[in-house]
């Protein structure tokens, strides 16, 4: 039976205040919280084949849900990367310190790539504004 599990790895919506408070190493993202994702993979990993890593960029800046409903959002860029669920990302995050460290490094690598994607999209957007 097909199943989907969603995990919002940052744990909350991005805001400048949260970003500053966390002292995030990422320009466009909050720090990832690995525990919940690791728990899901440990519990369901054998039944899951793929992780869809979704990155959303709003060229006009983040809008409210009301602005979406009112049609004030004209453009959204979405990047989706398929990541296979392999034995390397399945383990006991809470009882195995070595696995925990490897998993955090793996997730931080994804976040670095996601942050670079958002930087690229924002630079591309800035360049198109200059051209127009």
Hey, where are the domains in the chain? 16-121
Give me the pLDDT at residue 61, please: 86
Give me the pLDDT at residue 127, please: 57
Alpha-carbon distance of 126 to 42, in angstroms, equals 41
Each residue of 62-88: pLDDT tens digit? 888 899 899 999 999 999 999 999 999
pLDDT score of 18: 95
The Cβ of residue 65 has, within 10 Å, a number of other Cβ atoms equal to: 7
Is pTM, for the whole model, over 0.95?
no
**3 state SS of 46:** coil
**pLDDT tens readout for residues 15-42:** 899 999 999 999 999 999 999 999 999 9
CA dihedral 42, 44, 49, 52 (to 10 degrees): -80
DSSP annotation of 59: T
pLDDT in tens, 104-116: 999 999 999 999 9
């Amino acid at each position: 039976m097909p199943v989907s599990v969603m995990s919002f790895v940052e744990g909350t919506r991005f805001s400048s205040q949260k970003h500053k408070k966390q002292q995030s190493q990422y320009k466009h993202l909050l720090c990832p919280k690995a525990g919940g994702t690791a728990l899901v993979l440990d519990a369901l990993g054998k039944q899951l084949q793929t992780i869809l890593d979704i990155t959303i960029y709003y060229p006009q800046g983040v809008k409210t849900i009301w602005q979406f409903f009112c049609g004030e959002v004209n453009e959204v860029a979405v990047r989706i990367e398929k990541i296979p669920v392999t034995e390397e990302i399945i383990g006991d995050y809470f009882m195995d310190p070595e696995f925990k460290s490897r998993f955090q490094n793996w997730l931080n690598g994804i976040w670095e790539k996601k942050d670079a994607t958002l930087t690229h999209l924002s630079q591309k957007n800035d360049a198109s504004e200059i051209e127009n």
